[in-house]
A and B are shown apart, each in its own frame.
Chain A
Amino acid sequence: NAGVTQTPKFQVLKTGQSMTLQCAQDMNHEYMSWYRQDPGMGLRLIHYSVGAGITDQGEVPNGYNVSRSTTEDFPLRLLSAAPSQTSVYFCASTQRGGVNTEAFFGQGTRLTVV
């Protein structure tokens, strides 16, 4: 059982380039989210999805796109990378319903935009 898998683990981009951060989960969770983590800022929600075909914006959505065509996958696309998007990105998945709806996180993608 792999849990939440993020690829790549590290990436360096030039300003203006685009790329897709991959996230896959094998727990059949309905909810998936993308966060970015910056020093002193904690985890800030970028986009989230409550099921296949349904996405919504979080706190810091500008410059990012998402789609959810399957339950398992939730890719995050950077349209035109900027130095301000240098960060560590975490994908998380959560089972719908119940009291203890623990969010499971991937290991993160460290992105540097130069």
Chain B
Amino acid sequence: QKEVEQDPGPLSVPEGAIVSLNCTYSNSAFQYFMWYRQYSRKGPELLMYTYSSGNKEDGRFTAQVDKSSKYISLFIRDSQPSDSATYLCAMRGNQGGKLIFGQGTELSVKP
């Protein structure tokens, strides 16, 4: 079993929809939780990060971490065609070098 599990999709939604992306994990040592966005044929770029449990909001994006359930989520409000990309969750413990990724969810937002 992988340390981090993410539904690979693909996920297709109409423009303006609310999108929910999720990951579960098994390693209780994870403390830092991140979401990366990857456009086709590009390297991943950091979208949001959260330390420990709680919520974080940045514009149309909200990240949630529930450490008791080992579950993290990314919500995208008012989704736009420009949000079409692969979204990868990632997490690590207190040592910065070892970042573990989920499988990535391919999102398509249709105009």
A binding-site residues for B, Cβ under 8 Å = 4, 30-31, 33, 35, 40-45, 48-50, 56, 58-59, 90, 92, 94-97, 99-103, 105-108
- Measured between beta carbons, the chain B residues less than 8 angstroms from A59 are 100
Mark interface residues in B73-111 (1 if CB within 8 Å of A CB, else 0). Answer: 000000000000000101000011111111110000000
The residue of chain B having its C-beta at the shortest distance from the C-beta of A35 within the complex is B101
Interface assignment of B42: CB less than 8 Å from any CB of chain A: yes
Residues in B neighbouring A49, C-beta threshold 8 A: 97
Residue A105 contacts which of B8, B32, B45, B98 (CB distance < 8 angstroms)?
B45
A50 proximity list for chain B (CB < 8 A): 95-97
A90–B99 contact, CB under 8 A? no
- List the A side residues contacting B101 at CB < 8 Å: 35, 42-45
Known: A99-B51, A102-B46, A108-B43. Contact between A42 and B6, CB under 8 A?
Answer: yes
Q: Is the CB of A94 within 8 A of B97?
A: yes
Q: Does B49 contact A (CB under 8 A)?
A: yes
Provide the bound-state CA to CA distance between A90 and B38, in Å.
Answer: 12
State A48–B4 Cα separation when bound (angstroms): 18
